[in-house]
C-alpha cells in the first residue's frame, strides 16, 4: 500500500484560480510524492490505521516557495562588496573572487545556500552558475527541487566560449530529470552585455535542439540598456528578440528598465519575468514595473538573486517587499495584494519553470509544502493567515518542509543535511578564497 500521511486540523492556503477563500481549515492527505486530498472533513477511505498522522492545529500550511533566480554558491560572498552599483560590484568584487572558485568552494557555498533555503521554506530554486555538477549533487543529496543551468559569460576568446557552450549543453543533458525528476535543466547565456550576439545565437540553437528553456539577465540597470543601444543600436528586448531568444520558452531576470512597447513584446512572446526586488534595491538598479507587467499578461515570479546582492535567501522577505514596494511606487494600496504576492512566490514560480504540478495545495499536485508555526506573538490573532505570511512572517517561522512527499525539515531542523559540517566548510572555503 502507498505510504500515507494525514494532516489533521490544519489551515491550508488555497491559491487556485477557482478557490472561493484563501484559507481552508481541515485535512490534507499525502500519498507517496503527491497530495491526494485537501478538504474540511476526512473521507473514511483515508482513515486507515497504518497512516502516519500529523497534528496541524498550530500550523499554517502553504505551498513551498519557488525561488526563480539565483546563484547559490554566492553565499560565500555574502557581505563581500556591499553598497555598490552592479557593474562596479561585478567587475571589482564578484568576478575576481569567482575566478578563484573551485569545485569544493561551489559545493560548500551551494550547500550553505540550500540549507538556508530549505530552512526558510523554499522547496524549489533556480540556479545559474559554474561548476554545476557540484550544485546538482548538493540538490540530489538534500532533497530540494531545482532548475539548474551553467551560466555562460562570453567575454573571452571564441575557443573558450565554445568550451563554455559545450559544458552548458553537457550539463543540461546529464542532469535533466535527474534525482527522481526533482532536477531539470536549462541553458543560460549570462546577459546581453557579457555575451556577443553570435554566442547568444548558439545558445538559442542549442535550446531548440535539446528542447530546453532559456534564461538570462536582462535590463537590470539603465546603464546596461544604454550600453546595449550604443553597442548594437537596440535596447535589450529588441536585441534578444532579433537573436531569436524569445522564440524559445524563456524567462528573464530583473527586467527593471522596460518601456510600454517592451512590455508588449514580452507579453507577445510569453516571456516570463523573475522579479528580484531586494537585489534590485541593494544594487540601486531600480524597481521593476511589476503591476504593469501583470496587467499586460506577463507571467511574474520571484527570486532572491545571489546572497551577495540581497543579502539572504529568505523568500518571505521577497514576498513582503513585493507587496510593499509596488504600493509605494504606484500610490495604489491594491497594487500587489497579499494573496497575489503569495501566488507570485509559489504557483507562478512553478509555472515559470514549467512545473505544472507544483505550487498549489490541491489533489494531484506534488507534495511540496511548508508549515509555519502560527502560535507566536507576531502571528496573532489569526485574522487572515495569508496576510500574516506576507506582511508579518519570516523564514525563521518555518517549522516543517516537505519536498516530493519527503519530510526534509522537521521542527526547524534539516533532516537531510549536516548543518554543523556545512557551516564549518563554508567558513573554511571563504578563508581559502581570501588567502589564495
Q: Other CB atoms closer than 10 Å to residue 334's CB: what's the count?
A: 10
Could you tell me the smallest distance in angstroms from the CB atom of residue 251 to Zn ion? Answer: 12
- Which residue's CB is nearer to ligand LTUXU72L, number 151 or number 359? 151
CA dist., res. 25 & res. 9, Å (int): 7
Does position 217 interact with ligand LTUXU72L (CB under 6 A)? The reply is yes
**Cβ distance 148 to 139 under 8 Å?**
yes
Does position 190 interact with ligand LTUXU72L (CB under 6 A)? The reply is yes
Does position 224 interact with Zn ion (CB under 5 A)? The reply is no
Could you tell me the smallest distance in angstroms from the CB atom of residue 388 to Zn ion? Answer: 30
Nearest to 394 by CA among 379, 380, 384: 379
Of 55-63, 168-176, 298-306, 390-398, which part binds Zn ion (CB under 5 A)? 298-306
Of 126-134, 171-179, 205-213, 361-369, which part binds ligand LTUXU72L (CB under 6 A)? 126-134
Q: Which residues contact 292 (CB under 8 A, 6 or more apart)?
A: 260, 263
Does position 22 interact with ligand LTUXU72L (CB under 6 A)? The reply is no
Q: Which three cell numbers stand for residue 338?
A: 497579499
**Is 208 known as a binding-site position?**
no
**Is 32 known as a binding-site position?**
no
- Which residue's CB is nearer to ligand LTUXU72L, number 70 or number 121? 70
Does position 220 interact with ligand LTUXU72L (CB under 6 A)? The reply is yes
Binding to ligand LTUXU72L by CB under 6 A, coded x per residue (else -) over 314-353, reads ----------------------------------------
Calculate the dihedral angle through the C-alpha atoms of 76, 78, 83, 87, rounding to the nearest 10 degrees.
40
Nearest to 168 by CA among 186, 182, 146, 181: 186
Strand partners, 121: none
Does position 128 interact with ligand LTUXU72L (CB under 6 A)? The reply is yes
Phi and psi angles of residue 199, each rounded to the nearest 5 degrees, phi first = -70, -45
**Is 131 known as a binding-site position?**
no
Interface pick for ligand LTUXU72L out of 12, 37, 60, 129 (rule CB under 6 A): 129
CA dist., res. 164 & res. 200, Å (int): 12
Q: Which three cell numbers stand for residue 200?
A: 547568444
- Which residue's CB is nearer to Zn ion, number 13 or number 126? 126
Could you tell me the smallest distance in angstroms from the CB atom of residue 254 to ligand LTUXU72L? Answer: 7
The residue with its CB nearest to Zn ion is 305
The residue with its CB nearest to ligand LTUXU72L is 151
Q: Which residues contact 57 (CB under 8 A, 6 or more apart)?
A: 8, 9, 10
- Which residue's CB is nearer to Zn ion, number 145 or number 215? 215
Strand partners, 148: 127, 185
- Which residue's CB is nearer to ligand LTUXU72L, number 86 or number 118? 86
Q: Which residues contact 111 (CB under 8 A, 6 or more apart)?
A: 138, 142, 417, 422, 425, 426
Interface pick for ligand LTUXU72L out of 117, 136, 153, 207 (rule CB under 6 A): 153
- Which residue's CB is nearer to Zn ion, number 266 or number 414? 266
**Is 400 known as a binding-site position?**
no
Does position 309 interact with ligand LTUXU72L (CB under 6 A)? The reply is yes
CA dist., res. 29 & res. 22, Å (int): 19
- Which residue's CB is nearer to ligand LTUXU72L, number 290 or number 393? 290
CA dist., res. 24 & res. 40, Å (int): 7
Of 52-60, 304-312, 331-339, 352-360, which part binds Zn ion (CB under 5 A)? 304-312
Nearest to 320 by CA among 267, 378, 272, 402: 378
First-to-last C-alpha distance (Å) of the chain: 55
Size of the site for ligand LTUXU72L (CB under 6 A): 18
Beta-carbon-side half-sphere exposure of residue 351 (alpha carbons within 13 Å) = 16
CA dist., res. 308 & res. 72, Å (int): 10
**Is 220 known as a binding-site position?**
yes
Residue position matching grid coordinates 557579457: 194
CA dist., res. 290 & res. 335, Å (int): 9
Q: Other CB atoms closer than 10 Å to residue 247's CB: what's the count?
A: 13
Interface pick for Zn ion out of 305, 314, 318, 404 (rule CB under 5 A): 305
Of 122-130, 177-185, 258-266, 368-376, which part binds ligand LTUXU72L (CB under 6 A)? 122-130
Instruction: Tell me the chain's radius of gyration from C-alpha atoms.
Output: 21
Size of the site for Zn ion (CB under 5 A): 1
By CB under 6 A, what part of segment 68-97 binds ligand LTUXU72L? 71, 86, 90, 94
Q: Which residues are annotated as a binding site for Zn(2+)?
A: 69, 71, 217, 305
Q: Would you tell me which residues interact with ligand LTUXU72L (CB under 6 A)?
A: 71, 86, 90, 94, 98, 128-130, 151, 153, 190-191, 217, 220, 279, 305-306, 309
Amino acid at each position: 500500500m502507498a505510504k500515507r500521511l494525514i494532516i489533521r486540523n490544519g489551515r491550508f492556503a488555497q491559491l487556485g484560480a477557482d478557490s472561493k477563500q484563501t484559507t481552508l481549515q481541515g485535512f490534507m492527505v499525502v500519498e507517496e510524492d503527491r497530495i491526494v486530498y485537501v478538504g474540511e472533513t476526512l473521507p473514511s477511505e483515508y482513515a486507515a490505521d497504518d497512516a502516519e498522522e500529523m497534528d496541524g492545529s498550530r500550523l499554517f500550511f502553504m505551498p513551498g516557495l519557488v525561488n526563480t533566480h539565483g546563484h547559490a554558491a554566492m553565499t560565500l560572498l555574502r557581505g563581500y562588496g556591499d553598497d555598490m552599483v552592479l557593474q562596479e560590484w561585478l567587475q571589482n568584487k564578484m568576478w575576481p573572487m569567482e575566478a578563484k572558485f573551485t569545485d569544493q568552494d561551489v559545493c560548500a557555498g551551494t550547500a550553505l545556500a540550500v540549507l538556508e533555503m530549505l530552512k526558510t521554506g523554499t522547496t524549489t530554486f533556480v540556479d545559474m552558475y559554474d561548476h554545476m555538477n557540484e550544485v546538482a549533487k548538493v540538490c540530489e543529496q538534500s532533497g530540494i527541487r531545482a532548475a539548474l543551468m551553467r551560466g555562460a559569460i562570453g567575454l573571452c576568446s571564441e575557443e573558450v566560449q565554445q568550451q563554455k557552450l559545450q559544458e552548458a549543453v553537457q550539463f543540461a543533458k546529464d542532469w535533466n530529470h535527474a534525482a527522481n525528476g526533482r532536477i531539470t535543466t536549462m541553458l543560460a547565456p549570462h546577459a546581453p552585455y557579457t555575451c556577443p550576439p553570435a554566442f547568444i545565437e548558439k545558445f538559442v540553437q542549442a535550446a531548440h535542439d535539446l528542447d530546453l528553456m532559456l534564461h538570462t539577465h536582462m535590463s537590470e540597470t539603465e546603464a546596461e540598456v544604454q550600453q546595449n543601444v550604443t553597442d548594437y543600436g537596440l535596447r535589450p528586448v529588441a536585441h534578444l528578440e532579433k537573436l531569436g531568444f524569445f522564440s524559445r520558452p524563456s524567462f528573464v531576470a530583473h527586467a527593471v528598465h522596460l518601456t510600454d512597447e517592451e512590455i508588449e513584446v514580452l507579453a507577445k512572446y510569453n516571456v516570463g519575468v523573475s522579479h528580484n526586488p531586494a537585489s534590485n534595491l541593494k544594487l540601486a538598479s531600480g524597481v521593476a514595473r511589476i503591476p504593469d507587467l501583470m496587467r499586460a499578461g506577463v507571467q511574474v515570479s520571484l527570486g532572491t538573486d545571489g546572497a551577495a546582492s540581497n543579502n539572504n535567501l529568505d523568500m518571505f522577505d521577497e514576498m513582503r517587499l513585493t507587496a510593499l514596494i509596488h504600493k509605494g511606487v504606484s500610490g495604489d494600496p491594491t497594487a500587489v495584494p497579499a494573496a497575489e504576492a503569495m501566488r507570485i512566490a509559489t504557483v507562478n514560480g512553478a509555472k515559470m519553470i514549467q512545473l505544472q504540478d507544483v505550487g498549489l495545495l490541491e489533489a494531484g499536485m506534488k507534495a511540496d509544502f511548508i508549515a509555519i508555526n502560527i502560535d507566536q506573538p507576531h502571528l496573532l490573532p489569526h485574522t487572515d493567515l495569508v496576510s500574516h505570511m506576507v506582511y508579518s512572517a519570516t523564514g525563521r517561522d518555518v517549522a516543517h518542509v516537505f519536498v516530493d512527499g519527503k519530510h526534509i525539515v522537521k521542527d526547524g531542523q534539516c533532516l537531510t543535511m549536516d548543518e554543523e559540517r556545512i557551516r564549518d566548510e563554508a567558513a573554511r572555503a571563504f578563508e581559502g578564497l581570501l588567502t589564495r
